[in-house]
């Protein structure tokens, strides 16, 4: 599969910087966004057999990095076109409208999710469900908690991604405007904000205490980097990204990350980790998007683009179609996945903790997510046949 760097330069540039014609989708974005949704669902369940197939067991980053990067990438494609054709005001209005849609979806999911957890905790007389899902404050002070939820300051467990994306989208219009004019300056400012966040410990407060699990001041870097790549940044790095030196360094770093994670799963070999190295790399913060996590994602991305070029035959495979369809309806599928994750948690706790039950619960959940995505795709097809609709862009809305 390895090809000369020159042979990969053109596919990489096409893949990462040139927007497909309106109406044509970049299926790799849908594929990996769908994969991220599946992995997020599996990671939200108690540890099971399929958990060993998720990214977080083999390196520092996980599916969240994939999801946020692709969201920034697709947002730049979709709304960059709108800003070019209709101007800043119209494009900004569309971005804010999308942020509002995600906010409404988040509040709707919050209501259903709390109802699900509260019913199970009451029906089965197990208050631990409420404690595990972080809704005890809601049960004690529902009036105050609902207000805090509307302000995105209170969130049950597993409901941290959408608030992060809402904030990133609200502030995206000026970022996109600058990216289209001075892309490198926009990325530099993003890096600067990331550095300031680490230096001064910037964070958004949560209620009743603590701060956001995904710090927007840090995670904006990955989102902006995705947009920067989409708007020409990757083309300027094409020689570097396609060089064998870069690919070799990426593979070596992934091997190093894998070796470190082995010490997490097998404490007996922890002695192999030098104390000096351990003091340097730990803790690897997910909340503030540790630079080691960011580097791990970059290494994965470099190798992925190398081995899965644009036009890869597998994108037309019937076996990957369910994952691609999930990626094309990511907001709805994400919400379904959060709801199903607690349902799966309940099934595993109440019925059995056996590996078989774990496996079947995971597969059933993914199957229901695919069914929901298929239903949405069918409905969209019927709606498009019933009347003309404006094209929304190659990669669809985001997330």
Q: Per-residue confidence at 394, pLDDT binned at 50, 70, 90?
A: very low
For the CA atoms of 190, 191, 195, 201, what is the dihedral angle to 10 degrees?
A: 30
Task: Compute the distance between CA of residue 206 and CA of residue 223 in angstroms, rounded to an integer.
Answer: 22
pLDDT given for residue 8 in this prediction: 38
Task: Compute the distance between CA of residue 177 and CA of residue 87 in angstroms, rounded to an integer.
Answer: 10
Distance between the two ends of the chain, CA-based, in angstroms?
A: 31
Contacts of 300 (CB under 8 A, 6+ apart): 55, 59, 61, 250, 254
Higher pLDDT, 199 or 348: 199
Task: Compute the distance between CA of residue 101 and CA of residue 330 in angstroms, rounded to an integer.
Answer: 13
Mean pLDDT rounded to a whole number for the chain: 87
Angle at 106 between CA 97 and CA 127, to 5 degrees: 170
Angle at 277 between CA 254 and CA 293, to 5 degrees: 40
Q: Per-residue confidence at 391, pLDDT binned at 50, 70, 90?
A: very low
pLDDT given for residue 356 in this prediction: 85
Higher pLDDT, 244 or 8: 244
Question: Does residue 387 belong to any structural domain of this protein?
Answer: no
pLDDT given for residue 16 in this prediction: 38
Q: Per-residue confidence at 393, pLDDT binned at 50, 70, 90?
A: very low
Mean pLDDT of 356-372: 93
pLDDT given for residue 18 in this prediction: 41
Asked if the model's pLDDT at residue 10 lies above 50, the reply is: no
Task: Compute the distance between CA of residue 43 and CA of residue 81 in angstroms, rounded to an integer.
Answer: 35
**Strand, coil or helix: what is 47?**
coil
Mean pLDDT of 84-101: 96
Asked if the model's pLDDT at residue 370 lies above 50, the reply is: yes
Host domain of residue 171: 5-377
Q: Per-residue confidence at 76, pLDDT binned at 50, 70, 90?
A: very high
Question: Does residue 194 belong to any structural domain of this protein?
Answer: yes
Find out whether 198 and 289 touch, Cβ atoms under 8 Å. no
What is the percent of the chain with per-residue pLDDT over 90, rounded to a whole number? 62
Mean pLDDT of 218-227: 97
Question: Does residue 388 belong to any structural domain of this protein?
Answer: no
Higher pLDDT, 388 or 192: 192
Instruction: Enter the pTM of the model.
Output: 0.89
pLDDT tens readout for residues 161-211: 999 999 999 999 999 999 999 999 999 999 999 999 999 999 999 998 899
Asked if the model's pLDDT at residue 398 lies above 70, the reply is: no
Question: Does residue 389 belong to any structural domain of this protein?
Answer: no
Q: How many domains does the chain have?
A: 1
Lowest mean pLDDT segment, chosen from 6-20, 225-239, 326-340: 6-20
Using the 8-state DSSP alphabet, how is residue 1 labeled? -
Question: Does residue 212 belong to any structural domain of this protein?
Answer: yes
Question: Where are the alpha helices (H) located in the chain, listed in sequence order?
Answer: 5-17, 27-44, 63-86, 88-123, 128-132, 136-140, 142-150, 161-170, 172-181, 183-200, 216-228, 234-236, 238-242, 244-265, 275-281, 291-307, 321-328, 330-350, 355-386
Q: Which residues of 243-273 are buried (b: 16+ CB within 10 A; e: fewer)?
A: eeebbeebeebbebbeebbeeeeeeeeeeeb
For the CA atoms of 351, 40, 295, 206, what is the dihedral angle to 10 degrees?
A: -90
pLDDT given for residue 24 in this prediction: 57
């Amino acid at each position: 599969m390895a090809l000369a760097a020159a042979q990969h330069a053109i596919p990489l540039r096409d893949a990462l910087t040139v927007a497909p014609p309106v109406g044509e989708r970049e299926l790799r974005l849908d594929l990996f966004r769908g994969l991220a949704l599946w992995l997020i669902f599996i990671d939200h369940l108690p540890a099971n057999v399929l958990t060993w197939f998720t990214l977080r067991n083999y390196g520092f980053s996980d599916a969240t990095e994939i999801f946020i990067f692709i969201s920034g990438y697709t947002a730049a494609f979709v709304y960059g076109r709108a800003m070019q054709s209709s101007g800043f005001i119209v494009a900004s209005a569309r971005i804010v409208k999308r942020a509002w849609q995600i906010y409404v979806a988040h509040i709707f999911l919050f209501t259903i999710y709390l109802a699900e957890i509260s019913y199970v905790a009451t029906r089965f007389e197990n208050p631990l469900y409420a404690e595990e899902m972080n809704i005890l404050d809601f049960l004690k002070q529902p009036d105050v908690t609902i207000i805090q939820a509307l302000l995105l300051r209170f969130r049950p467990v597993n409901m941290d991604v959408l608030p992060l994306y809402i904030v990133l989208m609200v502030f995206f219009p000026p970022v996109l405007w600058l990216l289209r004019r001075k892309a490198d300056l926009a990325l530099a400012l993003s890096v600067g904000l990331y550095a300031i966040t680490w230096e001064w410990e910037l964070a958004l407060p949560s209620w009743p205490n603590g701060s956001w699990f995904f710090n927007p001041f840090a995670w904006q870097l990955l989102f902006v980097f995705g947009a920067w790549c989409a708007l020409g940044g990757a083309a300027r790095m094409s020689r570097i990204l396609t060089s064998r030196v870069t690919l070799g360094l990426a593979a070596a770093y992934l091997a190093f990350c894998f070796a470190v994670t082995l010490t997490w799963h097998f404490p007996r070999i922890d002695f192999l980790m030098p104390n000096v190295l351990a003091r340097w790399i730990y803790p690897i913060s997910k909340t503030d998007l540790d630079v080691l996590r960011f580097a791990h994602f970059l290494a994965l991305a470099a190798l992925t683009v190398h081995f899965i070029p644009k036009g890869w035959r597998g994108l037309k495979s019937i076996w990957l179609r369910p994952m691609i369809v999930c990626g094309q309806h990511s907001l709805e599928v994400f919400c379904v996945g959060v709801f199903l994750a607690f349902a799966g948690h309940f099934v595993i706790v109440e019925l059995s903790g056996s590996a078989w039950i774990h496996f079947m619960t995971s597969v059933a959940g993914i199957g229901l997510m695919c069914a929901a995505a298929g239903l949405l795709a069918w409905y969209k097809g019927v709606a498009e046949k019933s009347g003309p609709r404006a094209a929304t862009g190659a990669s669809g809305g985001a997330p």
